[in-house]
Structure 1
Amino acid sequence: MNLICACFAGVLASGAQSVQAQQSQIPDTIAQRAIACAACHGKEGRATNDGFFPRIAGKPAGYLYNQLVNFRDGRRQNPQMTYMVGHMSNAFLQELAEYFASLHPPYPPPQLSNAASTALERGRTLVMSGDRSRNIPACVACHGQKLSGTLPAIPSLLGLPRDYLNSQFGAWKTGTRRAAAPDCMAKISRQLSPEDISAVSSWLASQPIPNDMTPSPASSIKLPIACGSVPQ
């Protein structure tokens, strides 16, 4: 081997060792693997108060796991999410769900609403009391009096962008978002008018975050409607 070849071989070997050293310095942890989620959901899954990407930090692990499985199995439609989780096992999706459920970064401030006061009051009424004349249960009946979610699989409704909330109601109405049967949110969404949906989304997005966002215990509620995603 001449001197030039020997030098070139040495450079290659040194480069390979450098790459191996860098790879060995990256921890193989769930936190490291979850970094890819930050591209849409923000650092630690905290998201923002604007746009179509929800906060996933602090949501009940059962809810997050159900949604990851729904994306993987085609019940929810989003090309990026389907690509991300398409080949992930149930065990890894559960680990990912539990990781984000354990995170509690600060919430963004609530969105300012330009909705009319009558619309906001309609939204508040539907969230807190529902509409018995149309068999629409109150949001708090399932999501808890603080709207902070209910264990093991019902999410909080606060700290979410109005556009995201609107889009999800629309997805349930059209069937592009589905869950395990009986699909309670699809049934409820189909009973809501576009004006109802706008009112509920605007009111929820404008609410301050309570000091305690701990999900309510499962024993604290009796669901007013059968829901296949929530064991009873």
Structure 2
Amino acid sequence: MKKLEGKVAIITGSSRGIGKEIAIRLAQSGAKVVINYSHSREKAEEVINQIQQQGGEATAIQADISQVEQIQQLVTASVEQYGQLDILVSNAGVEHFGKLEEITPQDFERVFSVNVAGQLFATQAATPYLRSGGRIVLTSSVSARIAVFYHTLYAASKAAVSAMVLNLAPELGERGITINAIAPGGTATDMAQENAKFYTHPALQNVSADAVLKSMTSLQRLAQPQEIAATVAFLVSDDASYITGSTLAVNGGMF
């Protein structure tokens, strides 16, 4: 079913990982999608080719989400390309692990400029173009509610996202726009593979990181990126018209 037929969606950080699968899923649902990338035009083009092979429509626009001016240019260029904007999915983010005494002001700026400021200003830039029925989905994380060694800076940035959607909901609700966040748990992406070892307790360094993560979920496995994308597709559809201000856990029953 083409539930998003006639809609235009921007997905930040969508040349790889979860963002890529979100873009593909929304295109399959009928939306015209804007693939945002920071560095790799080649990977963005691969996503476009995949979407086009399935009969969808997409374009790629470069923008560094840590730079407010580039966020504004991304939104403006998207509207110029397609004449409208209906959906913003703010997926771009950066990871960080570090002991308290090792965190620097530069670390704070790098993480919060993308994970918090980038999502806030993407929302700000997109909102003037959204009509009643517009949808915004930001990206929080299971890390906002569980403790992981040396993950303080990242977790704090993701907790801020959940607070953001909760407080923006009544403001945007006056215009008929919903805003929610997803909070994924462990997901089988290249970024997760790079960082999985950091999620284990220091005393469990000889145990597979994948095994530890799987042992913490009711479904006893990592999520597939397509499963996260399916949740986003629901939140941006008419089926989720009465959901706003919420952070939806997509974590396999993590405990």
Judge same fold: TM > 0.5, yes or no. no
Flag the structure with higher strand content: 2
Q: State the TM-score, normalizing by the size of structure 2.
A: 0.25
Larger gyration radius, structure 1 or structure 2: 1
Structure with greater contact order relative to length (CA < 8 Å, sep ≥ 6): 1
